[in-house]
Structure 1
Amino acid sequence: MGKTRSINFAVSRIMSIGLYTALALLASGMILKRFGLSGTIIRSEALLDVGLTALLLTPIATVAICLLFFIRLGEKINAVFAAIVLAVIAIGVLFF
């Protein structure tokens, strides 16, 4: 039971940190763009790009963390499925 809780805790922590970081970056970029402050402090496009990248990388990091936990716990079937999901994501990133 304790190992399942640690997986759930790690996944929820990665999802919340990734989502909040992405939203903060996107909101900061939009505020800079809206009020004409772009270029005075930092380019708003840079914040928007980093925010979108963080938003896209959060689920990938979650699946990678799950894969590591499944390998560590010896759950072969779940590890295979997590590896397949990561492979599909990689194919999607490479070809689209």
Structure 2
Amino acid sequence: MEGLLSKLGEAEFTQYVSSFDIICFTETFLAFQSALDCFADFVQFSRPAVKLSDQGRSGGVLILVKRTLENFVEIIDLTLDNIVLLKLD
């Protein structure tokens, strides 16, 4: 399995990622926009991967922002494929 889901079961990976305040992932291959439980301390902004053919999906973007910074983040756009635009104050 490729993409972000293949890494979420690795405690070392999730602990490392959780040590940052803002994290950006590309090529997640996630086909959904639901929250990932392992990053509950983060506000999650995402765009799903796009199905390009019968062979699979491409792209996918996920941005994680620590909940302590939530009041300083404004969503600019979540309607474009593979793009998340946020304004940090």
Q: Normalised by the size of structure 2, how large is the TM-score?
A: 0.26
Give the number of the structure whose residues are more often helix, by fraction. Answer: 1
Give the number of the structure whose residues are more often strand, by fraction. Answer: 2
| Larger Rg belongs to | 1
Q: Normalised by the size of structure 1, how large is the TM-score?
A: 0.25
